[in-house]
Amino acid sequence: MKSAIRFVVCLGILAAISANVEAQEPSLVSPTAPVSPPVTAAAPLPTATVTRTVEAVIGALDAKANTLSLQVPPLDKSGTPQAVLAVPDSKCRFLKNNRAALLSDFAVGDKVVVRLTYRTLPVASVVVREMADTASYAEKQKQGKEITEGKIQSVSAKELVVRRADGVDVTFRVSAKTVVTKVDALVSLAAYPVGSSVVV
């Protein structure tokens, strides 16, 4: 939120004493004060835990310290972007160019979609749950509505990458709830090696 800056201009009184000690009327001086350019305000943290997904711009990033500064829409919906210092948690999932990524794969100025949790306890903080470049996020949303058909490019206990016929790699997260079948029978992912044709 922009803070209004008020300048108090003191009225200078110029007194000239003449030979007959007659005082002249004081003159008023009103200099024009320089106006500072608008700055992005630091975002005030909420009073309760809040999680939201927003579009943001990376303002600063330190992969070694595992921190980043994000320009995000304000919680109060004032329309003025605000800066938050955020820390990805240990389970944060990064996505870039439709592939799993690291924080170090991103750069200052990148436009991203982030899922943030504003915590109040034990100390006020902002935690990054997920972060993806805008194109990858749009593709991810599309995946939830469409069936993906292609060939497995890589597979692990946590991730499955399928390349579609158009050459786009689609990344799926694998968890204990993932159901894998082959010829109507439940199987493990090991039944589908790299190169296998699949429908997800």
Residue range 153-195, pLDDT digits in tens: 999 888 899 998 988 888 888 888 899 998 888 999 999 999 9
Which three-class secondary structure state does DSSP give residue 84? strand
Task: For the chain, give the mean pLDDT.
Answer: 79
pLDDT one-digit tens code per residue, 42-98: 555 556 688 999 999 999 999 999 999 999 988 777 778 889 999 999 999 999 998
pLDDT for the residue numbered 1: 40
Distance CA 103, CA 133 (A): 11
CA quadruple 17, 22, 26, 27: dihedral positive or negative?
negative
How far apart are the C-alpha atoms of 102 and 93, rounded to whole Å? 8
pTM: 0.58
Task: Identify the CA nearest to 81 among candidates 91, 71, 69, 92.
Answer: 71
* DSSP letter for each residue of 106-165: --TT-EEEEEEEEE-SSS-EEEEEEEEEHHHHHHHHHHTTS--EEEEEEE-SSEEEEEET
Nearest CA-CA partner of 175 in 91, 87, 104: 91
Q: Before 74, cis peptide (omega within 30)?
A: no
Residue 114, pLDDT above cutoff 60: yes
Inform me whether the pLDDT recorded for 107 exceeds 80.
yes
**In the numeric block, which tokens belong to residue 161?**
């990458």
* Spatial distance between the Cα atoms of 84 and 82, rounded to a whole number of angstroms: 7
Report whether 89 contacts 139 (CB < 8 A).
no
